């Protein structure tokens, strides 16, 4: 249940400073200055930063994944369940801290995976929120959005309910052995692997929608998608996290896409889209897995001898991107969308000479009778905070670290956006 009524703060004489009650207690919050302003506009006062965590042994993951080479690939349900359980336990402990402090909400809530030696920690972090006259008994809210994003979402008609996530752990399985022979023979799309990877991506989206339904929401907004190596070599997780919300303006449209609208537009983009009369419909994903085959070997052989374009490889990579883009276009047409906004393409190296091309965006549709509550956003809602603490000696700490079956640490490369 949402506890915020935007209309309560519609008075043009409203001063956000007056909404911050004086309190002798020192608050330690992750909310920035601009976020503080937006929180006050929403009627919130900040509370302390809160934590919830859960630690698992890497060995637990390794045992479950010991037979991945015997399967064709795709989801590893038991690892998905273990990772999901770790994330949920961390979130439950975070929410317990929130309730113990009598907070009625939390913003900027994250769900992280951190490796500590041979252990993996699931960590939830966020900043608690209070509102005068409200208690947890009136309903609580947790959001992946910070309070700048929350203001944009609420002003666009989205009432935040709870943090929602959907994940899937998957592997290539016998792809390594299979592709070892294939890459010496041919190049082009490997349809069987494309189907496996498309299924895993669709599963993550389905699961975040299922969580939204459990929270009585009709939308998940501000979705962030991450792919990371987890547990053991050859196992990855696709993770989607966002804020399940309810928007009365979009109830009919939500029913057209299965009851839950999904979007990875930023919150200020979402506000602008609604202001222009467009409604988000669905996050669309298209993936294609290609083998570079002998093209990759040819490239490696000649790059030290001659310079210049490798036309066959150029065409192959171009075709792969086009195939992924066509898939999201087909999905958009199927749900009656007018366009796909914020389209991005990514390249992931799965194995030697085996590459996944992923296209992702939000399908939108022009509709009547939708609007934002304010004629324009305040600058504080869109100004990006700048880093004020920079330590270049720690520049490598953000690399994702995992462990191979032999126990050797490995850095996971960051996917390359296009």
What band does 270 get if pLDDT is binned at 50, 70 and 90?
very high
**What percent of the chain is predicted at pLDDT more than 70?**
76
**Model confidence pLDDT, tens digit, residues 103-120:** 999 999 999 999 888 888
User: Rounded to an integer, what distance in angstroms lies between the CA atom of residue 417 and that of residue 401?
Assistant: 20
Residue 410 in this model has a pLDDT that exceeds 50: no
* Segments of 267-353 assigned E as strands: 278-291, 339-351
Q: What is the three-class DSSP state of 15?
A: coil
Q: Pinpoint the alpha helices (H) of 21-138.
A: 33-41, 58-64, 77-100
Domain that holds residue 30: 6-370
Rg of the chain's alpha carbons, rounded to an integer? 23
The 10 Å CB-count burial string (b at 16+, else e) for 243-254 is bbbbbeebeebb
Q: Is residue 361 part of a domain?
A: yes
DSSP 91: H
**What percent of the chain is predicted at pLDDT more than 90?**
54
Q: Is residue 410 part of a domain?
A: no
Q: Is residue 144 part of a domain?
A: yes
**Model confidence pLDDT, tens digit, residues 213-224:** 999 999 999 999
| Nearest Cα residue to 149 out of 35, 273, 271, 267 | 267
Tokens of 300: 């490696």
What does the pLDDT read at residue 293? 66
Average pLDDT over residues 251-263: 95
**C-alpha torsion 166→4→134→43, nearest 10:** 110
Residue 73 in this model has a pLDDT that exceeds 70: no
Q: Are 4 and 141 in contact (CB under 8 A)?
A: yes
Helices (H) and strands (E) in the chain, counts: 10, 16
What band does 69 get if pLDDT is binned at 50, 70 and 90?
very low
Q: For residue 87, which phi and psi values (nearest 5 degrees)?
A: -65, -40
Average pLDDT over residues 299-305: 49
Q: Is residue 137 part of a domain?
A: yes
User: Rounded to an integer, what distance in angstroms lies between the CA atom of residue 385 and that of residue 88?
Assistant: 29
The 10 Å CB-count burial string (b at 16+, else e) for 156-173 is bbbbbbbbbbbbbbbbbb
Residue 408 in this model has a pLDDT that exceeds 60: no
Bridge-based pairing of strands 45-57 and 119-130 is antiparallel
> How far is residue 260 from each of residues 220, 253, 330, measured CA to CA in Å?
7, 9, 19
What does the pLDDT read at residue 265? 97
Residue 404 in this model has a pLDDT that exceeds 50: no
> How far is residue 358 from each of residues 107, 232, 287, 348, 409, measured CA to CA in Å?
30, 23, 4, 8, 27
Higher-confidence residue of 275 and 175: namely: 275
Residue 294 in this model has a pLDDT that exceeds 80: no
Name the average pLDDT for the chain: 82
Number of domains in the chain: 1
| Nearest Cα residue to 47 out of 91, 102, 93, 87 | 102
Tokens of 386: 């700048």
Residue indicated by tokens 């009585």: 216
What pTM value is reported for the model? Answer: 0.82
Q: Is residue 414 part of a domain?
A: no
Q: Is residue 299 part of a domain?
A: yes
Residue indicated by tokens 């883009």: 325
Higher-confidence residue of 414 and 321: namely: 321
Q: Is residue 378 part of a domain?
A: no
Among 95-99, 179-183, 343-347, 412-416, the range with the most confident prediction by mean pLDDT is: 95-99
Residue indicated by tokens 């537009």: 265
What does the pLDDT read at residue 13? 52
What does the pLDDT read at residue 25? 75
Residue 64 in this model has a pLDDT that exceeds 80: no
| Nearest Cα residue to 183 out of 310, 293, 288 | 293
Q: Are 374 and 339 in contact (CB under 8 A)?
A: no
Q: Is residue 333 part of a domain?
A: yes
Higher-confidence residue of 122 and 308: namely: 122
What does the pLDDT read at residue 397? 41
Residue 352 in this model has a pLDDT that exceeds 70: no
Determine the Cα angle at 238 with ends 232 and 242, to 5°: 135
Average pLDDT over residues 43-64: 85
> How far is residue 17 from each of residues 5, 7, 33, 240, measured CA to CA in Å?
19, 18, 12, 35
Q: Are 111 and 90 in contact (CB under 8 A)?
A: yes
DSSP 376: S
Tokens of 220: 């998940």
Q: What is the three-class DSSP state of 390?
A: coil
């Amino acid at each position: 249940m949402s506890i915020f009524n935007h209309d309560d703060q519609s008075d043009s004489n409203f001063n956000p400073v007056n909404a911050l009650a004086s309190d002798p207690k020192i608050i330690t919050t992750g909310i920035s200055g601009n976020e503080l302003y937006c929180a006050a506009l929403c009627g919130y006062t900040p509370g302390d930063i809160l934590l919830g965590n859960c630690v698992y042994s890497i060995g637990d993951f390794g045992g479950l994944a010991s037979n991945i080479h015997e399967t064709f690939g795709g989801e590893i349900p038991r690892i998905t369940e273990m990772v999901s359980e770790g994330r949920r336990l961390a979130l439950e402990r975070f929410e317990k801290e929130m309730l113990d402090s009598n907070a009625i909400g939390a913003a900027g809530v994250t769900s992280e995976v951190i490796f500590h030696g041979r252990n993996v920690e699931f960590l939830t972090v966020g900043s608690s929120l209070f509102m005068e006259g409200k208690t947890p008994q009136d309903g609580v809210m947790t959001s992946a959005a910070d309070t700048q994003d929350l203001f944009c979402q609420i002003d666009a008609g989205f009432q935040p309910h709870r943090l929602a996530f959907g994940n899937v752990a998957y592997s290539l399985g016998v792809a390594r052995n299979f592709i070892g022979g294939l890459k010496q023979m041919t190049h082009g799309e490997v349809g069987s692997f494309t189907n496996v990877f498309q299924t895993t991506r669709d599963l993550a989206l389905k699961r975040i929608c299922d969580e939204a339904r459990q929270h009585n929401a009709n939308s998940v907004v501000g979705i962030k998608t991450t792919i990371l190596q987890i547990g053991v070599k050859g196992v990855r997780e696709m993770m989607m996290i966002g804020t399940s919300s309810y928007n009365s303006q979009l109830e009919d449209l939500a029913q057209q896409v299965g009851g839950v609208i999904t979007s990875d537009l930023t919150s200020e983009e979402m506000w602008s889209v609604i202001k222009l009369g467009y409604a988000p419909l669905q996050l669309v994903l298209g993936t294609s897995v290609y083998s570079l085959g002998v093209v990759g070997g040819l490239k490696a052989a000649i790059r030290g001898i001659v310079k210049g374009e490798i036309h066959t490889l150029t065409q192959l990579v171009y075709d792969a991107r086009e195939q992924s883009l066509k898939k999201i276009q087909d999905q958009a047409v199927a749900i009656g969308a007018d366009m796909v906004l914020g389209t991005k393409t990514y390249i992931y190296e799965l194995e030697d000479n085996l590459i996944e091309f992923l296209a992702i965006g939000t399908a939108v549709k022009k509709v009547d009778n939708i609007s934002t509550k304010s004629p324009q956003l305040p600058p504080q809602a869109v100004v990006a905070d700048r880093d004020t603490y920079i330590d270049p000696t720690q520049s490598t700490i953000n690399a994702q670290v995992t462990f191979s079956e032999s126990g050797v640490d490995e850095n996971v490369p960051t996917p390359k956006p296009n």
